[in-house]
Amino acid sequence: MRIVLDTNVLVSGIFFGGLPGRVLDAWADGRLELVFSPAILDEYLRVCERIAESRPTLEYEAVLAAITGHGVLTADTNWDEPVTVDPDDDKFMLCARSAYAIVVSGDTDLLDVSGWEGVEVIKPRDLLNQLGDSAAV
C-alpha cells in the first residue's frame, strides 16, 4: 500500500512514537511504501529541524535519510484550484493523486477532502487497523 504521510504524522512518529510511530514501523518493516515530493520532503526537514532545536537529544536525521533512500520520490505537481482550505496541505493531496497513494493524517483540513480526485485520507489508527496491527485497537 502506498501512503503519503502528513508532516504531523511523520514528526509525531519520529519524536513521540504512539500510533504515528507504529505507522513508521510498518513502513520500516516493508508493509507500506512511502511516497513524497520535493515540497513534502522540504517541509519534513524544516519542521524536524525546528522541533529538534528544543529537543536536541531526539534524532530525526536517520529517519529522513531512510525516507530519502527508500521512499518513492514523485515530482511536485500543481493544480489550478485550491484542494483544501489550507493551501499548505494541497501538496499532500497532489502527491497522493499522482502516485495513487493514500494520505495518512489527523488534520481535519485533509480529512474533510477525502475522496477528492479519488484520494483517500485516513487517520493513522485506521491505517494500522487495515494492516491488522492489533496495537491500534
Domains contained in the chain, CATH given: 2-136 (3.40.50.1010)
Other Cβ atoms less than 10 A from the Cβ of 111: the count is 15
**In which residue ranges of the chain is pLDDT below 70?**
134-137
Cell of 46: 524544516
> 100-137 pLDDT, tens per residue?
999 999 999 999 999 999 999 999 999 999 999 866 65
| CB-based burial, 68-106: b 16+ in 10 Å, e otherwise | eeebeebeeeeeeeebbeeeebbbbbbbbbbbebbbbbb
